[in-house]
Structure 1
């Protein structure tokens, strides 16, 4: 047992006669570790990107709500009346009447 640990610590399993199979496993595990680390970094990057996009969506949504509120205020009749009062326009005092057109059956 003591010799086995001693040989592992000295690295004799890497230079012995059947070391090729050990090297293959070490290289395989190293490549696997690199792939796992790269995958983890890519996932972290996507999480950060999603968080950024969510922040942008919230900002754009609040801007949309503010703009919609401003437009609703601008299209109110009282706001339009105030804006065109400088040009001498005012709302009519008499309400509009409907015009009905009768179609002739002969045409």
Structure 2
């Protein structure tokens, strides 16, 4: 069982400091700040600060994604326009009159006789 002891003035306790004692060593608060912000509200203030940092970070991430989406939408529109142009050119080039013009350059001509069926008799 522990015994009751008295604190001796001027003697520091051997207890190791936690996060807030380290914070107090790094950022010493003078009396004017200590009057406005009480130490017991410090965890809530730090929690709100962390939430603010997370909010700002997610906002930057979302804006970056929106810029990327806009860039990709522009690229898709360009590719769609190219696709429609190439499709139209292919459809135009595959017309019978255009094929006949290209075949005439090779020395081929369009037949005037209609096709007929060849019948082979079996023995």
Q: Same fold (TM over 0.5)?
A: yes
Contact (CA 8 Å) 1:14, 1:23: kept in 2 or not? no
| 2:106 is the alignment partner of 1:92 | no
Counterpart for residue 62 of structure 2:
43
Structure 1 residues 79 and 15, CA gap change in structure 2 (3 angstroms): closer
Q: Which runs of 4+ in 1 moved over 3 A?
A: 13-16, 98-102
Which entry has the higher C-alpha Rg, 1 or 2? 2
Structure 1 residues 53 and 15, CA gap change in structure 2 (3 angstroms): closer
Q: Deviations over 1:43-79 (max 9, x none)?
A: 1111111111111111111111000010011111111
Aligned partners of 1:101, 1:46: CA distance in 2, in Å?
70
Aligned partners of 1:34, 1:43: CA distance in 2, in Å?
14
Contact (CA 8 Å) 1:81, 1:91: kept in 2 or not? yes
Structure 1 residues 49 and 101, CA gap change in structure 2 (3 angstroms): farther
Counterpart for residue 30 of structure 1:
49
Any unmatched runs of 5+ in structure 2?
Answer: 1-31
TM-score (normalizing by structure 2): 0.64
Aligned partners of 1:69, 1:53: CA distance in 2, in Å?
24
TM-score (normalizing by structure 1): 0.73
Contact (CA 8 Å) 1:14, 1:22: kept in 2 or not? no
> Does the residue aligned with 2:109 lie in a helix, a strand or coil?
coil
Shift of 1:30: 1.0
